[in-house]
Amino acid sequence: QLQLQESGPGLVKPSETLSLTCNVSGASIINTLFYWGWIRQPPGKGLEWIGTIYYSGNTFYNPSLQSRVTVAVDTSRNQFSLKLTSVTAADTAMYYCARRTDTTTALGGFDHWGQGTLVTVSS
Amino acid sequence: SYEVTQPPSVSVSPGQTASISCSGDDLGDKYTCWYQHKPGQSPVLVIYQDTKRPSGIPERFSGSNSGNTATLTISGTQTMDEADYYCQAWDSGTVVFGGGTKLTVL
């Protein structure tokens, strides 16, 4: 059974770097139909896509965050990670990792999500 | 950048049909997904590739996409369907979420 688990500090100081890891169990991160993504939800607001990575390392980022975001994959540990630099209070949010499953003919959806981890940016 | 727009709220009586719209330029030319998100839980994919239901999603959930509008339809709405619903589309490899629609069942 596929499980995704986010981990990382729950409190980050302004101007510092937010770092999270998503551990994947129950499925290999190396699969031609899977993409791995980060999505966040600030308190009281909607979902915001941050970025997506393929096992080969190919990445796609939200243009509004691209200058501050790095998503990386570690296939040996079956996990992927998120780094967000120069954080402000506006980056306070529940952060989710998720798997997108495509079909051989078209893009799919994020069909498995982690439980989410709340990250607060505050001094 | 590409944007999709949802109504902030929709209300429906139990047993009736709820329709939630998602609008964007030529949205019908893109694949859309829909997610159900309940408080304290992780989002759940209910529709992908415009019309397909993942395993385990009840048949009362259906989707369509044509022109500039995608629609999530819930037939015979149940109280357990009360949640926030988000549409999602792709634009040039990037993921775009709508602002979400709060579905109230009363």
Q: Which of B3, B33, B42 to mutate to test the interface with A (most CBs of A within 10 A)?
A: B42
Q: Is the pLDDT of residue B91 over 90?
A: no
Q: Are strands A93-101 and A117-121 parallel, antiparallel or unpaired?
A: antiparallel
pLDDT above 90 for B3 = yes
Nearest to A107 among B31, B97, B100 (CB): B31
Do B100 and A114 lie within an 8 Å CB cutoff?
no
State whether residue B97 sits within 8 Å of chain A by CB: yes
Q: Determine contact, residues B61/B54, Cβ cutoff 8 Å.
A: no
Look at B28-37, B41-50, B69-78, B85-94 and tell me which has the smallest mean pLDDT: B85-94
Q: Which amino acid is at A100?
A: R
Question: What pLDDT score was predicted for residue A103?
Answer: 81
For residue A94, give how far its alpha carbon lies from the nearest alpha carbon of chain B (Å).
10
**pLDDT value at residue A104:** 76
pLDDT given for residue A107 in this prediction? 84
Q: Residue A67, exposed/middle/buried by CB under 10 A (0-12, 13-18, 19+)?
A: exposed
Token duo for residue B42? 């992780």
Task: Tell me what pLDDT residue A65 has.
Answer: 97
CA distances from A26 to A2, A5, B52, B69 (A): 4, 11, 24, 37
Confidence of residue B40 (pLDDT cuts 50, 70, 90): very high
Residues of chain A with pLDDT under 70: none
Asked whether the predicted pLDDT for residue B77 surpasses 90, the reply is yes
3-state secondary structure A11-25: EECCCCCEEEEEEEE
Partnered with residue B63 across adjacent β-strands are B72
pLDDT tens-digit map of B43-58: 999 999 999 999 999 9
